[in-house]
Structure formats: C-alpha cells, structure tokens
Amino acid sequence: MNSETWNTLIASFPKPHILQTWQWGEIKSRFGWTPSYRVWGDEYNPDAAALILQREIPLAGFAARLRVLYAPKGPLLRDWGNGNLRKQVLDDLQELARQRGAIFLKIDPDVELGSGVPGEPKAESNPLGGALQSELQARGWRYSAEQIQFRNTVLIDLTVSEDEMLARMKQKTRYNIRFAARKGVSVRIGTANDFELLYRMYAETSARNGFVIRSLDYYQALWRTFFSADMLDPLIAEVDDEPIGAVMLFRYAGRSWYIHGMSRELHREKMPNYLLQWEAMRRAKALGCREYDLWGAPETFDESDSMWGVFRFKRGLGGEVSRTIGAWDYPVKPLYYKLYTQTLPRILNLMRRRAYRIHE
C-alpha cells in the first residue's frame, strides 16, 4: 500500500475525510503514533476502510504498557445502513483492539444524528445516527469524554453559483466582506516560505483566545506534507503588504476544511476574516470542491457555550449545521480505561495546581 493507492481507495467513499488520508498517518507517525491501514471487502473497491493510529502511553510506576488505538474520523463505510457490513467492521475493530492489548479503541465517524440546530424549524434528525449510537452502547462502547475532533460543524454547499453562495449569507456578513475589500484588505495564496510567519500568527491567536497549540516543528511538518501533496492552500490576508490573518484550506476528494485560522490584532477593524473565508470558499469551489467544512460548532447549541460567538460568525457564512454521533470508545481493559479517562486526568490536574502554587 502507498499514498496514491490508499487515497484513491478512500476517495470513492461517500464522505472521505482528510484525517483518514495517507498524509495524516504519515504526520502522526513522526509524533509518536504508528499508523496501519485496513480494508474490508474487495482490495480495489472495498466496502469499508480505516486508518488506525496506535500510541504507547508511558506512565512512571506502571509495569503494564498503556496502548490506545484511534481511527480519526473513521472508519469509512460504503453504506452505514448495511447491518451485516457494520457488524463485521465493528467486530473486527474490537478484535484488533484486543489483539494489540489496547486500553481502548476510539472512533468518530462522520455519521450524522441530524442537520440544523435542534429546536429550529429546519432541524432534521437522521434515524441511522441514533440507531448506530444504540448499537454501539449495546456492544459495550461508551460515548467518549474526550471528543478529540469537533462533534458538530457547519457545512457550506459549494455546488451552487457564487451569487447563490452570497445570497445564503447573513446580510451583515456580505456587508463585511465588501467592507474589508473597500478598506484595502487583499488575499493572496501563500507558499511554504510563509509557514514560519503563519505559525507566529497562530501562536499570537492562541495566546489571545486562550487555546493550546503544538510546536512549530509539528505545524511545519503538517503543512509541508499536505502542501507538497497539493492538498493545502494557505490564504493570507494583507493590508499594504502586511500580513494580518490567514486561513489554512485543506482539500481532498471534493471536500475542503478550515482547520487552522490565525489573525493579528492589527487592522482587525477592517474585518479581514470575512474576506478570508469568502476567498477560501471561492478557491475551494474553483478547485472542484463540493463542500466546505468550517470545522466546529458548539457541543450544545446555547449562548452559554464558549463557541457561540465563533458559531454565529460561521453560520453567517451561509452554512448548515451538521450534528454527528461524536467519538465513541471501546474499553478493552476497563480498569485501565477508568484510570486513563478519570483518575489520571484528576491526578495530573492536581499536580499542575500544586506546581502552580509552588511557583506563585
């Protein structure tokens, strides 16, 4: 199996995901994970497939090797409604986790519970998502307390004309896009030479907004790998040739994702993020993408949710909410699973608080 073969295989599935590509496995292999690639059915036209990541968790004082498995945004099934196929894939994944001596296996496939915001007129439910959740529970799977990826997101349909895309936006969003252009904001396609600059902006964004990011080495490796494979476009907003914001547009198999975004305080009043998102949509559409995933919506759709402000911005771009089943864990070793998911985090938090008090 090689990158071209794997990516071609999974591109034929109904909802292929960037986190199931060969490149994602390659990146994770450089940072502590071991990838493996599994198919069910015909080798050249499989019924199901999964990139499965494995990691050893060293823990001082424990002789046992703590090992976890994760299929990010997987597995991929040709038809989630096929009960026999679903059973075979879940049986095999559970057996694989037992054979490898894992504490648990995590999956988070893009199977929808429904679309739209619950309680709103256009909200719809998907019976298949609810049935899959019930089946997982009956098998001993647990809804994960650690949702590594966003459970919910906002999707923008790129198959319509640009005029229709604009018409679907909130009036204020359209105004801000034009306002940014009038105020001298321009957007250019970046190169690999911009990655260090983009990381500095990302670090500034994380410090301002209070979220944690990884090291420069990680993002350099990630961005270069996907950029070299023609699966990433850095879009950089500038005023008078001064970079003030950026969007990292990931692309694969007719889908596109806004996974990383960064901005500076400089010229924020000129609304560069609105123009950036519009140009990302136009770029993705021009390159044949049918959908743009804005990567994240609130876990609960309430104004008290910390993501509510970002969600309003994303929704203003004219997308529809997609609600999925989220991440589920299959505990192979229940005692270690409890240690890993409940006891250990509490111990680490206590140690951090003590360390903080010592250094006050």
Percentage of the chain lying above the pLDDT 90 cut: 86
- Report the range of poorest mean pLDDT among 49-58, 129-138, 282-291, 347-356: 347-356
Q: What is the pLDDT of residue 57?
A: 81
Beta-carbon contacts of 65 under 8 Å, excluding residues fewer than 6 positions away, are 56, 101
**pLDDT digit string, tens, across residues 26-75:** 999 999 999 999 999 998 899 999 999 999 987 666 556 789 999 999 99
Residue 360 scores a pLDDT above 80? no
Percentage of residues in the chain having pLDDT higher than 70: 93
Say what the pTM is: 0.92
| pLDDT at residue 1 tops 80 | no
Strands 76-77 and 66-71: unpaired
- State the pLDDT at residue 326: 97
Structural domains in the chain, CATH included, are 3-149+325-358 (3.40.630.30), 154-321 (3.40.630.30)
Give the pLDDT confidence score for residue 356 in this predicted structure: 30
pLDDT over 80 at 286, yes or no: yes
Flag the least confident range among 57-66, 193-202, 233-242, 350-359. Answer: 350-359
Report the relative pairing of strands 320-324 and 328-331 from DSSP bridges: unpaired
Asked if residue 343 has pLDDT above 90, the reply is no
- Looking at residue 353, its pLDDT comes to 43
Among the listed ranges 209-218, 231-240, 251-260, which one has the minimum average pLDDT value?
209-218
Average pLDDT over residues 232-244: 98
3-class secondary-structure state, position 65: coil
**pLDDT score at 60:** 60
- In the predicted structure, residue 174 carries a pLDDT above the cut 60: yes
